[in-house]
Amino acid sequence: MKSIEDYVHLEPKYYEAVLQNYSDLFSNKMTQLNKNFDNIVIYATGSSSNAAYGALPFMSNILKMPVKIEEPSIAENYLLHVSQNSLCIAISQGGHSYSVVKIIQRLQDAGNTVFALTSELDSPVGKVCHHVLDMGMPIEEMPYVSAGYSVEILDLMLLAMLIAQKTGKISFVEFTKLLSEIKNIVLKMPEAINSASNWVENNISKFTTAKRLVFIGYGATYGVSREGETKTTEAVRINSWGKELEEYMHGPYLGLNADDFIICLDPMGKLHDRMDLLKRFLNKHVKNVYTIYPGKDQSEAANDLSLGITTNELLTSLFMTVPIHLLAYKLSQVKKIDLQHSAYPDFDQITASKI
């Protein structure tokens, strides 16, 4: 079975495959769109929800309309009124999520158009949904997904670009320019992965002493911070937070401990100065503060990592989770946590969280 690390190294290959095949994967499905839609609602949970938050700022910016993310279980049980002008997108990489299957059924029964994004077309999600979109990558063997999370971000961005072009929000020239930017990121991914691997190796001995990891991001890296919390909790099994920059500054900072390990995820965007102010505070009270940047032109502290990719801040979620996934994997190995087998094999049987 492949490891999280193996799948991180496969991300450029999977990205290339999606970019080569996006027309077959998505374009042909655009004819099934409700042309009157004026908002998008994405239904996802876990890492798929984190991926959606990574793509959200880009999608909203390019589509020039409201885009929101809902937890499927809350939506299916309590948020019962969805506009017929909403484009609904349900995400389940493996296609077995109970809550995603249920929300698809309820929305379709109410007459809403739902597109499901999955890597397993034969899954319960693939069978129940009337409009299934193939993620464009093989089923991920590792239960703690990494490459699938990243591919979901790319898929959502490409979907947004195709819809924006189809509805006249962007021109063919603008579409081509964005596609070229994304392809340029993919070309630089192997080098970024190597830089991230070296950073993890150089700092792993310090991170093994961490009692709590705190990930702080904004914009496109808010989804990255959420994924940091998810993967650290799943794979390393220590206390972990994933916070949006202003959210952290409005209360959670009061729970700061001197022995916390803080990872700031700065896409060098609109809130860069706000992030710098927070780091000025954190460095007064915490020894272990790290910053991960996209490009090389930052003034780095010894703890920091620049991934060598200078790009639009809205595209940084395509690669800034790489060091987070690698860190979670390496910490799990140092702590001798078996990621090949479930720690609680009776969980799905008792809770029926997967179909």
Which residue would you say has higher pLDDT here, 303 or 207? Answer: 207
* 152, 93 contact by CB (below 8 A): yes
pLDDT reading at 266 higher than 90: yes
- Give 5-33 pLDDT, tens digit per residue: 999 999 999 999 999 999 999 987 777 77
Structural domain boundaries in the chain: 4-184, 190-334
pLDDT at 343 exceeding the cut of 80: no
pLDDT at 349 over 70: yes
Between CA 69 and CA 44 the distance in angstroms is 7
> Over the stretch 69-122, which tens digit does the pLDDT of each residue have?
999 999 999 998 899 999 999 999 999 899 999 999 999 999 999 999 999 999
CATH superfamily of 4-184: Glucose-6-phosphate isomerase like protein; domain 1 (3.40.50.10490)
- Mean pLDDT, rounded, for 320-325: 98
Supply the pTM of this predicted model: 0.96
Superfamily of domain 190-334: Glucose-6-phosphate isomerase like protein; domain 1 (3.40.50.10490)
- Spatial neighbors of 272 by CB under 8 A, at least 6 apart, are 266
Q: Phi and psi of 43, rounded to 5°?
A: -110, 115
Residue type, 89: I
Bridge partners of residue 89, in order along the sequence: 42, 115
Residues 320 and 307: beta-carbon distance below 8 Å: yes
Q: Please, what is the average pLDDT of the chain? A: 93
Tell me if domain 4-184 and domain 190-334 are identical in fold: yes
Distance CA 36, CA 27 (A): 18
CB-based contacts of 31, cutoff 8 Å, min separation 6: none
Condensed to tens digits (0 to 9), the pLDDT of residues 295-318 reads 875 556 778 999 999 999 999 999
